[in-house]
């Protein structure tokens, strides 16, 4: 019998918690190979056409990745790929490649690679960390374009045949975002930092991961048994029998906890002393309704309608939209379905509206601003939602509202849409509930002016934190400033919720704060009526609520509002969660 290989312990940076044991899948890091050849002047138009077709396909693929990421873990995480779209749509970059065809008479693959490397190397020399890391975006997009030029649409990761732990020198954010969790159970890389896009994606999709291991890709062989402890940052090659036994018991304990959580599926999200919270889900497609119920959520607190508008050559018709919204309502009935009107900007309509790209689309012509400026597009969607509301479980909400004037204008267009449907003899719920998303500080500060014109608030914490603290949450240099427990955020949340109750309307929370079990007691204590989370997070959130007393949550909220630092608040939240639901802390470590 062969000797057991010696155990090798490597320490890196744990960027996504969890423990997995499996076989290593070694991802080669060499660039996509292509044949360099000379071309004649007559071949240049064909090469330009190939390049433009590859750009179109690349743009479509990036939009598709954004949709999947947005549906699974939120639109803010999907925003990471806006930088990739900027590369594809950079006319200076594209035109330099086209000029290079005439100047060098080489095929487009060779010219593209040379131009992209020049851009990436220039970015890599910049002292600014954020701009320097954009070199990775340029290379990631270039690899995708090269694959599309060659006709190869799938990367090696997509071709894995069995569950493995991916080991690589580095991984691009798009590779991480498209990982199949049934196949990729964890990953480890030589390079990377806790705030890299790849690390952010790993945490968001829940794959245990370690980065910064320096030479793991040359120390591991294909098929080696390896262990990843994403919480501690330990990567172990050929783990010993003793270590496997120890971690095996830990995994069994976690599996037991997860099994127990599934038993809560049909139980209410209610505290020990009777405070009820409506636990809803954030989804993007009607077929996701099955996941909502399977994970124990009740209804949908945020249906992202944007996916109907992306990756298309034309806008969806009223009938197309109606079929989707009606399908959603049928699948969820009698539970509520809150449909958010399109939260997209001019930068996402380039293919069929020919609008100019914006330097800062997150604060530009988007969401309700776009809709009010394009009433025909907006009213088409409003009519479709109204028709679906005939089932009486559909509600509607407007995103990125910043003033009461926007609410009044949107409501006026909604009334016009109702009148048009009456004239056409179409059925709808004339008493449909209308709400707004509070995700801009100005909206939170004038919530008392908005409240009389709506029936609920849905507080979008991701953008509220970003805009209030002036922190681009996908900017690695300042990611440490993104603090949901900042005193300013807590005061805005408390003010908004209190005003809603004074006006006899309810307030929900949708965003990462709602799905973070540590922060659930705080949000309950602040008076949130509803929490809307990714379906997979619902069991943990429900468990915390059911182990908690509302009086404990109120006391926590009072202490948090009197605190002066985000860390102090987070420590208070962790302490209470550890007290009432220690099993959840185990799952998060």
Q: Which residues are catalytic?
A: 197, 510
Q: Report the alpha-carbon angle 144-67-328, nearest 5.
A: 155
Q: Are 316 and 308 in contact (CB under 8 A)?
A: yes
Other Cβ atoms closer than 10 A to 211? 26
- 52 in Cβ contact with 95 (< 8 Å): no
Rounded Cα–Cα distance for residues 523 and 516 (Å): 10
- Measured distance CA(215)–CA(224) in Å, rounded: 15
Question: 456 and 500 in contact (C-beta within 8 Å)?
Answer: yes
Number of C-alpha atoms within 13 angstroms, CB side, residue 501?
12
Provide the β-strand partners of residue 8: 237
Q: Find residue 542's DSSP bridge partners.
A: none
Distance CA 80, CA 195 (A): 12
Q: Hey, what are 149's tokens?
A: 């030029």
Which residues, 6+ apart, have CB-to-CB distance to 214 below 8 Å?
Answer: 12, 190
SS (H, E, C) 89-123: CCHHHHHHHHHHHHHHCECHHHHHHHHHHHHHHHH
Radius of gyration of the chain (CA): 25
- 3-state DSSP of 458-482: EEEHHHHHHHHHCCCCCCHHHHHHC
Positive or negative: CA dihedral 495, 499, 502, 508: negative
Burial class, 199, CB count within 10 angstroms (exposed 0-12 / middle 13-18 / buried 19+) = buried
Residues 540 and 505: beta-carbon distance below 8 Å:
no
Torsional class of 274: left (φ above 0), alpha (ψ -120 to 50), beta (otherwise):
left
| Residue 517 and residue 576 in contact, taking contact as beta carbons nearer than 8 Å | no
| 103, HSE (Cβ side, Cα atoms, 13 Å) | 11
Q: Which residues of 498-520 are buried (b: 16+ CB within 10 A; e: fewer)?
A: ebbeebebbbbbbbbbbbbbbbb
For 276-304, give one letter per residue: b (16+ CB within 10 A) or e: ebbbbbbbbbbebbebbbebbbbbbbbbb
Neighbour order of strands in the sheet with 209-211:
8-11, 234-237, 225-229, 19-26, 164-168, 184-189, 209-211, 13-16
- For 321-372, the three-class secondary structure string (H helix, E strand, C coil) is HHHHHHHHHHHHCCCCEEEECCCCEHHHCHHHHCCCCCCCHHHCCEHHHHHH
Let me know: does 143 contact 32? Beta carbons within 8 Å: yes
């Amino acid at each position: 019998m062969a000797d057991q290989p010696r155990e090798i312990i490597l320490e890196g940076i744990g960027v996504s918690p969890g423990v997995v044991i499996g076989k290593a899948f070694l991802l080669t890091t060499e660039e996509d190979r292509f044949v360099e050849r000379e071309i004649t002047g007559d071949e240049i138009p064909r090469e330009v056409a190939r390049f433009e077709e590859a750009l179109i396909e690349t743009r479509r693929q990036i939009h598709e990745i954004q949709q999947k990421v947005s549906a699974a873990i939120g639109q803010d995480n999907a925003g990471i790929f806006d930088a990739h779209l900027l590369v594809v749509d950079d006319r200076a970059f594209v035109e330099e490649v086209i000029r290079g065809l005439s100047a060098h008479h080489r095929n487009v693959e060779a010219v593209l690679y040379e131009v992209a490397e020049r851009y990436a190397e220039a970015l890599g020399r910049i002292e600014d960390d954020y701009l320097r890391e954009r070199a990775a975006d340029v290379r990631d997009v270039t690899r995708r374009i090269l694959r599309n030029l060659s006709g190869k649409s799938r990367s090696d990761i997509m071709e894995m045949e069995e569950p493995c732990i991916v080991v690589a020198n580095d991984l691009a954010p798009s590779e991480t975002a498209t990982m199949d969790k049934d196949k990729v159970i964890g990953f480890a890389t030589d390079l990377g930092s806790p705030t890299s896009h790849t690390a952010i994606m790993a945490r968001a999709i829940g794959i245990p991961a370690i980065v910064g291991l320096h030479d793991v890709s040359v120390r591991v062989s294909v098929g080696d048994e390896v262990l990843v402890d994403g919480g501690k940052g330990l990567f172990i090659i050929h783990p010993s029998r003793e270590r496997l036994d120890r971690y095996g018991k830990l995994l069994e304990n976690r599996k037991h906890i997860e099994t127990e959580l599934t038993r809560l599926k049909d139980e209410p999200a209610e505290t020990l002393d009777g405070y009820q919270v409506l636990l809803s889900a954030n989804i993007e497609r009607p077929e996701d309704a099955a996941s909502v119920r399977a994970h124990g959520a009740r209804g949908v607190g945020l249906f992202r309608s944007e996916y109907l508008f992306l990756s298309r050559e034309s806008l969806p018709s009223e009938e197309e939209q109606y079929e989707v919204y009606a399908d959603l309502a049928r699948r969820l009935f009698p539970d509520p379905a809150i449909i958010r009107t399109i939260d997209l900007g001019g930068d996402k309509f380039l293919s069929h509206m020919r609008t100019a790209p914006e330097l800062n689309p997150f604060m530009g012509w988007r969401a309700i601003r776009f809709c009010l400026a394009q009433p025909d597009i907006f009213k088409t969607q409003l009519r479709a939602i109204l028709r679906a509301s005939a089932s009486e479980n559909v509600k509607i909400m407007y995103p990125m509202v910043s003033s009461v004037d926007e609410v009044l204008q949107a409501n006026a267009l909604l009334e016009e849409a109702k009148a048009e449907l009456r004239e056409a003899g179409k059925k709808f719920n004339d008493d449909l509930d209308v709400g707004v998303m509070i995700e801009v500080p100005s909206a939170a500060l004038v919530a008392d002016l908005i409240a009389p014109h709506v029936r609920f608030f849905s507080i979008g914490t991701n953008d509220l934190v970003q805009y209030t603290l002036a922190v681009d949450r996908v900017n690695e240099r300042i990611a440490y400033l993104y603090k949901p427990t900042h005193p300013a955020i807590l005061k805005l949340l408390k003010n908004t919720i209190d005003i809603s109750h004074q006006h006899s309307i309810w307030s929900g929370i949708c965003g990462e704060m709602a799905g973070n079990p540590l922060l659930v007691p705080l949000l309950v204590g602040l008076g949130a009526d509803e929490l809307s989370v990714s379906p997979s997070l619902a069991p943990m959130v429900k468990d915390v609520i059911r182990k908690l007393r509302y009086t404990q949550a109120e006391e926590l909220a009072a202490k948090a509002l009197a605190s002066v630092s985000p860390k102090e608040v987070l420590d208070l939240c962790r302490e209470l969660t550890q007290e009432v639901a220690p099993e959840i802390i185990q799952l998060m470590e």
